[in-house]
Amino acid sequence: MFVLGGSRGPMDGRPQARLLHFFHVPFISREPASNSRVDKVTKRRQRTIGVIYQQLAKRIAKSILGNNTLESIIAEDGKIGLRRCFKIRSRIKEIDKEFRQSKINLESFCQSYFEHVPPVTSPLALISQIQRSGGSLLSQLFDGHPEVHAHPHELKIGNPKKYIWPKIDLKDDPERWFEILFEDIVVRHLRYGYKKMEKYTDTFLFIFLPSLQREIFFKYLDSVKANTIRDVFDAYMTSYFGAWVNNQNILGQKKFVTAFTPRLATLKENMKSYFDIYPDGRLISIIRDPKNWFPSAAKHNLEKYGDVRQALNQWNESAQGMLWNKERYGDRVCIINFEDLIKRTEAVMRYLAEFLNIQFDEILVTPTFNKTPIKPNTSFKLEDPGVIVSVLNRYNTLRQEELKVIDEMTGELYAKVLGVVTSIS
């Protein structure tokens, strides 16, 4: 630190003497003169004036260089190099000029980017059923297809919980609409990167600007003449994919937005609201053999699915929802078999491409995140990227009494759902 005061003459190399000279401030020593004839009053006066000048010099230095720079140019031995001081002052001016120009360039870039964000008005193809049934896998298989905007995570626009379709009141302020729909998980993924499971070390870069999303959301709403609830959701999708800066699949004509939300399709009220907003939407649900589903679910969340009967009640609820949705919404609903998705991935994805009226692309057979291959979302042993077949043998981990309970509680309902499952040839 810079310590003012000392015992030598005014131009003897002390830091304050050099600094005062640099700023053309006269220096008066704090130490009494050696002449014994100077009385005490003169001594006190000299000390007082010296302190005033030194404090003045310090304030001038701070105002010109700043605290951090002032400390950085003073060596630990208390000496200041004037050349270094001049050099740093010049460098600071250049840096400051560059930062001002960079700020202008950044603002110009953001404005240009802001003006060229493509609107996302495509219908939503929703993937939904109970957790641990292949929803994440299917969502990642759609990732990167040139004719879809694939939401990269679980879609969490639900309010007050993610499996409750959000209610938008057009009488509310747009600020409230954005508050309801905003997925705050993007903040975490921006800071720490995206990875599907904590046990994985692979992390994917996810550059997302929430402030930009907010601006795009309001700009889109201002651009439409009359706000409908569909306009609000289009504004949100436009803002989401527009604010995802490193999205590798932003360009091109898109026919659908694909997204996965577990359990959303279970409740009739959710599906009514969804199809009211997206009459051109599509629902894809995956049915998984409960004998393979239960051990995966229990290992994933023991507290929620550890009790076999309570877990199977939830599975039954999801399966019943599939039957109701298929009966109510007909050809807009597609139910596929989890086993088919694993063993016959290409055939299933070819069918789903036709279901969504998009061209089949080889990227549909490899799960990816932003076009980069990603490991499976498994509760068991870590696996390499791709579709894994070991998920079809989870029942081997169950006890005989558990298998018996599963047959008793789900056998009849499972057979009914399989009766309406899409046949993959």
- Above pLDDT 90, what percent of the chain? 58
Report if residue 425 sits inside a domain. Answer: no
Summarize the confidence of residues 302-317 as an average pLDDT.
Answer: 92
Residues 355 and 244 in one domain: yes
Dist. CA 57–CA 139, nearest whole Å: 65
Domain boundary among 84, 100, 116: 116
- Beta strand pairing call for 148-154 and 333-337: unpaired
CATH code, domain carrying 404: 3.40.50.300
- Cα-Cα-Cα-Cα torsion 230, 233, 237, 239, nearest 10 degrees, comes to 110
Summarised one tens digit per residue, pLDDT across range 214-236 is 999 999 999 997 789 999 999 99
Domain boundary among 71, 86, 116: 116
User: 215-232: buried (b, 16+ CB within 10 Å) or exposed (e) per residue?
Assistant: bbbebbbeeeeeeebbbb
Summarised one tens digit per residue, pLDDT across range 72-120 is 544 444 444 555 666 666 777 777 777 677 667 767 766 777 778 999 9
Residues 112 and 241 in one domain: no
Confidence of residue 369 (pLDDT cuts 50, 70, 90): very high
Summarised one tens digit per residue, pLDDT across range 144-172 is 999 999 999 999 999 999 999 999 999 99
pLDDT of amino acid 48: 61
The parent domain of residue 103 ranges over 1-116
Residues 178 and 36 in one domain: no
pTM beyond 0.85, yes or no: no
pLDDT of amino acid 345: 95
Q: What is the mean pLDDT of the chain?
A: 82
Residues 121 and 108 in one domain: no
Domain boundary among 81, 116, 151: 116
The yes-or-no verdict on residue 57 having pLDDT over 80 is no
Q: Which residue has the higher pLDDT, 76 or 245?
A: 245
Residues 173 and 320 in one domain: yes
Confidence of residue 61 (pLDDT cuts 50, 70, 90): low
Residues 142 and 185 in one domain: yes
Q: Which residue has the higher pLDDT, 195 or 212?
A: 212
Residues 96 and 217 in one domain: no
